[in-house]
Amino acid sequence: MDSEDEIDFQPSWRGVPGIIILINVYENSKHNIFETAHVATCRLIKQHMRTSSSHNIAVCLYGTEESSTSKFDVTPVKETIPLSVPTLYDYKKLKSLTPTSFTEAKEFKLSDVLWHSSKMFANCKKQLSSRSIIMLTRLDIAPVAVDQKPTLNRASDLIDSNIDIKITNISDHEYAIDPFYEKFLKIANRGMDYVVPKPIGNSTEIEKLMHQESHRHLAVAKLNFEICKDFNIGVSVYTLLKRPGQNYKKNVYLDRESNAVVTSVTKTMKVTVESTDDENSQPKEVPLIKSELLYYQEFGGERIEFTDEEMKAIKNPFGPPMMKLLGFKPARVICKEKWYLKMGYFLFPHEKSIEGSIVAFKALHKACTDMEMVAICILCTRVNSKPIVVALCPSVRPLNLDIDVGFDIIHFPFVESVRDLNLNDDDDNEENSVVCIEDAHKTLMKDILNELKIEYKPDMFEDPKLQSKYRAIEANALDEEDCEPFNDTTIANPERFENIRDDLFEELFGPFSEIALKRPSDKLSSSSGKKQKVDNIDEDLLNLRLKNKKVNDYSVPQLKQILHFKDIKGLPGLTGYRKKELVDLVYEHCSLN
């Protein structure tokens, strides 16, 4: 991987997100939303522990009678996890909660709960990049009448001090929402139009929603997209996926003896070799200064050298981050099976730099969608990233996420990224184009394909290596009973293949291995992992020399070449053989011809 690319993905943030999860347990005995919310929250915390995220997460129950756990003497709140990075202890504590660990309050008050949350944020020692409250609740029981106004006031106070309130409607069925929550939602949504959250009863869905709501939401870049001169719109560039392997980097290294964490530093030293006659003189080592460094490449028999500073200039002389429209092309030109280069970005508008951006963005989106066109742009996301040409392809609900507008940013491969496949040393291709597939064969193939048809969902495969690693750690860190069963989603259930007619397939298409048997030397050379060159040899000369017993005239490499060329069954590896032995081998194997 290019080092510049690494920098591309370095998040540039300050502070960490702070999240308070509030679980409503008032009248839990009636609706029992606690259980669902509890499972979802436990999973959320677990996931954060797995990824070693730095989110500060607190979990509180409200609508309870106790007061002992709240630092601030707020009666209706039971603080289970304080606002900090969740620890194993916290998790275990949360996990052990049951409906019997709290007493439901006699009357439902919410204002103090919100006040308690704001206190928690105020007392958090960490630098928070965002502050949000996620409420897991039903929306049919309003606080007692006297508490309603204070609650709404508190809510708007929170919003004013940039604390988000996100409400998750937990229920397994639709029901009438208390008018109080309509007011509450309106405040939570900053006075804007709001959508009443749909009831969710599935803990996995709730967990997913909480992940979305607690996501850092960091942009790779925020840019002004230049549609034309003096017509810019504010956009942000995101990655909706992690790159493969990005989940793995949380390993730490420990000292075998003390189990203390070990950090690694690469020391770069300048070593001076004194050209004195004294052989005992030790090379001198001094720390290297960057300006002393030269970068070089061999080209045309010479070393082409650059200083450290020049290297920086060479890497990107094209100026600051930018995004500029170059034109449009029909959407069909970007076909992924031919031109996929690397993970794309996602483009979303924002109003922070230019007001009116969203409207213009949506109009462009609609126009592109209607005409089935993509916008072609030049994009440079960061100061140190290379300018690339991208296609903006209108997308709706990417990865099944609730996103109503946006463009997929698709990398155009440059000619430098495309490799020529010189496969023409065989007649493969010509034959391929002429070949005609028989109907019977096609029918069988189609039967197989249809038999194995599945409905693909982006989240249907879990990384089995990662998942089993998590479980191995958790078996150690948590109680054993806590270990979720491991299911390798990447391997299809063998039963699915029971109905395909592989015997008929073998009969019609096979056997494939025949060739391999005929050419064992192929197998031999590929298994040894070394590419062995076999050039044509002058067979007439060989035969002449065989006849005249003059094989000795060949050089060692030529002898080896002859032996490889002759494709001898069970030929041993030739390294280390003496010339005489090679000559004998040639006589032995080649005389038959």
Q: Return the residues of window 286-305 that contact other proteins according to CB under 8 A.
A: 288, 291-305
**Is residue 541 part of the contact set for other proteins (CB under 8 A)?**
no
Q: Which is nearer to other proteins, 146 or 269 (by Cβ)? A: 269
Report in angstroms how near the CB of residue 26 gets to other proteins at its nearest.
26
Q: Which stretch binds other proteins (CB under 8 A): 30-38, 67-75, 93-101, 383-391?
A: 383-391
What's the CA gap between 372 and 329, in Å, rounded?
Answer: 9
Q: Which is nearer to other proteins, 280 or 450 (by Cβ)? A: 450
Report in angstroms how near the CB of residue 145 gets to other proteins at its nearest.
21
List 251, 282, 487, 575, residue binding other proteins (CB under 8 A): 251
List 80, 168, 521, 561, residue binding other proteins (CB under 8 A): 561
Q: Return the residues of window 317-336 that contact other proteins according to CB under 8 A.
A: 317-318, 324-330, 333-334, 336
**Is residue 313 part of the contact set for other proteins (CB under 8 A)?**
yes
With 0-12 / 13-18 / 19 or more C-beta atoms within 10 angstroms meaning exposed / middle / buried, residue 155 is buried
Report in angstroms how near the CB of residue 132 gets to other proteins at its nearest.
7
Q: Which stretch binds other proteins (CB under 8 A): 35-43, 138-146, 172-180, 502-510?
A: 502-510
**Is residue 485 part of the contact set for other proteins (CB under 8 A)?**
no
Structure tokens belonging to residue 364: 């462009």
Q: Return the residues of window 266-285 that contact other proteins according to CB under 8 A.
A: 266-275, 285
Q: Which is nearer to other proteins, 106 or 453 (by Cβ)? A: 453
- With helix as H, strand as E and coil as C, how does 143-192 read? CCHHHHHHHHHHHHHHHHCCEEEEEEEECCCCCCCCHHHHHHHHHHCCCC
> Integer distance in angstroms from the first to the last C-alpha of the chain?
51
Q: Return the residues of window 54-83 that contact other proteins according to CB under 8 A.
A: none
Q: What are phi and psi of 195, to 5 degrees?
A: -115, 130
Q: Which residue in 93, 63, 91, 88 sits closest to 78, CA to CA?
A: 63
Q: Which residue in 550, 546, 590, 545 sits closest to 567, CA to CA?
A: 590
Structure tokens belonging to residue 47: 């996931």
Q: Which stretch binds other proteins (CB under 8 A): 177-185, 398-406, 570-578, 580-588?
A: 398-406
> How many residues bind to other proteins according to rule CB under 8 A?
255
List 511, 528, 573, 591, residue binding other proteins (CB under 8 A): 511
Distances (CA, A) of 500 to 445, 448, 449, 508: 10, 6, 9, 14
Q: Return the residues of window 95-154 that contact other proteins according to CB under 8 A.
A: 118-119, 122, 127-132, 153
**Is residue 35 part of the contact set for other proteins (CB under 8 A)?**
no
Q: Which stretch binds other proteins (CB under 8 A): 102-110, 171-179, 471-479, 572-580?
A: 471-479
Q: Return the residues of window 143-182 that contact other proteins according to CB under 8 A.
A: 153, 156-157, 159-164
Q: Which is nearer to other proteins, 199 or 398 (by Cβ)? A: 398
Q: Which residue in 557, 562, 528 sits closest to 545, CA to CA?
A: 562
Residue pair 375/364 in contact by the 8 Å Cβ criterion: yes
What's the CA gap between 11 and 8, in Å, rounded?
Answer: 8
The edge-to-edge listing of strands for the beta sheet with 56-62 is: 77-84, 56-62, 16-24, 128-137, 163-169
**Is residue 513 part of the contact set for other proteins (CB under 8 A)?**
yes
Provide the pairing of β-strand 322-330 with 221-228. Answer: parallel
Distances (CA, A) of 320 to 37, 344, 350, 575: 47, 21, 20, 55
Report in angstroms how near the CB of residue 106 gets to other proteins at its nearest.
28
**Is residue 242 part of the contact set for other proteins (CB under 8 A)?**
yes
Q: What amino acid is encoded at 156 in this protein? A: S
List 72, 175, 461, 587, residue binding other proteins (CB under 8 A): 461
Q: Which is nearer to other proteins, 28 or 214 (by Cβ)? A: 214
Q: What amino acid is encoded at 26 in this protein? A: Y
**Is residue 362 part of the contact set for other proteins (CB under 8 A)?**
yes
**Is residue 525 part of the contact set for other proteins (CB under 8 A)?**
no
**Is residue 208 part of the contact set for other proteins (CB under 8 A)?**
yes
